[in-house]
Amino acid sequence: MKDIVQDKREIESVWVVTNNEEGYWKVGSSGITKIEIYEESGQMAPVPWCAVYKGDDIVCRFDMAGMGVKYRL
């Protein structure tokens, strides 16, 4: 099985799955054109992060802890 960073399928949406935060980002909504997962250096190991794009601009980034991902079919 691929880890989330190696999985190159197109992402349709991501969302927070914890109770103390709310958030939902979907390609095609609110001008969002693309969502990508990548790695950033963390303490002692790489950590998966998400970049949300509007056009060519990244409008937000967040680490993937506690997030859900839906892939485009």
**Domains of the chain, residue spans:** 11-71
DSSP helix/strand/coil, 50: strand
pLDDT-derived band at 20 (thresholds 50, 70, 90) equals low
Mean pLDDT value of segment 22-49: 93
pTM: 0.86
Q: Is pLDDT above 80 for 1?
A: no
User: What is the spatial distance between Cα 18 and Cα 20, in angstroms, rounded to a whole number?
Assistant: 6
Q: Is pLDDT above 90 for 17?
A: no
- Phi first, then psi: what are they for 37, rounded to 5°? -105, 140
- Secondary structure letter of residue 10 according to DSSP: P
User: What is the spatial distance between Cα 46 and Cα 50, in angstroms, rounded to a whole number?
Assistant: 13
